[in-house]
C-alpha cells in the first residue's frame, strides 16, 4: 500500500510540477552521465551529439517527417535543448538496434522525455526492458489526451 501511495504521489508531483522532480526523487531518477552537447535535433525523439553519437529518447515516440505534428514536436525539442545544459541517463539498455544510445534527457531539472508527452508532442511507447517510467508516462499521456494537447487536439 505504501508503494502504491508513493507511486501515485510521485506521479501527481510530476504532473503538477511540470515534470520538475522533487529533490528527493532526483537522485534515483537522474543518475547523470554528465553534461552533453547537442549538435542537432533529428526529430522530436532523436538528437545527435557533437561527437556524432545519436540519442533516442526513451519512452516516447513523435511523428515522423510529413506526419501531423512533426514540425511542432521537432521544434519543441530543439527549443527545450537550447534552454540550458543537457544531461542524460540510461534505463536498462545501452543502445537500440540502430546503434542509437537510449537515454532520458534533462535540461536542468526538466525531464525532457516526460515534458514531450505531457505537452502532447509525443506518445508514450515501451520497449522492454526499458520500462522504468511507464506508469508516469501513461498518466502524462492520459492527461495530455484529456486536455487535447498537441497530438491529441481535434483536427478538422
Query: What's the chain's average pLDDT?
Result: 84
Q: 3-class SS at 67?
A: coil
pTM: 0.79
- The number of residues making up the chain comes to 156
Given this model, what pLDDT does residue 2 score? 42
Cα distance between residue 15 and residue 137, in whole Å = 10
Question: Taking residues 119-123, what's their average pLDDT?
Answer: 98
Q: Which residue from 22, 62, 23 is spatially nearest to 43, judged by alpha carbons?
A: 62
Pick from 2-11, 122-131, 147-156: least confident: 2-11
Q: Of 58, 59, 47, which is closest to residue 102 (Cα–Cα)? A: 58
Contacts of 134 (CB under 8 A, 6+ apart): 59, 124, 126
For the residues 39-59, what does the mean pLDDT come to? 97
pLDDT for residue 155:
83
CATH architecture of 2-152: Beta Barrel (2.40)
Average pLDDT over residues 95-108: 95
| pLDDT digit string, tens, across residues 37-47 | 999 999 999 99
Q: How far apart are CA 53 and CA 156, in angstroms?
A: 39
Ranges of each domain in the chain: 2-152
Amino acid at each position: 500500500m505504501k508503494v502504491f501511495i508513493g507511486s501515485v504521489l510521485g506521479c501527481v508531483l510530476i504532473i503538477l510540477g511540470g515534470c520538475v522532480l522533487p529533490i528527493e526523487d532526483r537522485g534515483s531518477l537522474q543518475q547523470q552521465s554528465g553534461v552533453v552537447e547537442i549538435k542537432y535535433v533529428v526529430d522530436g525523439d532523436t538528437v545527435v551529439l557533437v561527437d556524432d553519437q545519436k540519442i533516442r529518447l526513451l519512452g516516447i515516440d513523435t511523428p515522423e517527417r510529413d506526419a501531423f505534428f512533426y514540425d511542432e514536436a521537432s521544434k519543441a525539442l530543439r527549443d527545450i535543448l537550447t534552454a540550458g545544459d543537457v544531461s542524460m541517463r540510461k534505463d536498462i539498455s545501452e543502445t537500440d538496434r540502430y546503434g542509437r544510445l537510449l537515454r532520458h534527457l534533462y535540461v536542468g531539472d526538466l525531464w525532457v522525455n516526460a515534458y514531450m508527452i505531457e505537452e502532447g508532442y509525443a506518445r508514450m511507447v515501451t520497449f522492454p526492458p526499458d520500462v522504468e517510467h511507464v506508469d508516469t508516462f501513461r498518466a502524462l499521456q492520459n492527461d495530455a489526451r484529456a486536455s487535447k494537447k498537441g497530438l491529441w487536439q481535434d483536427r478538422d
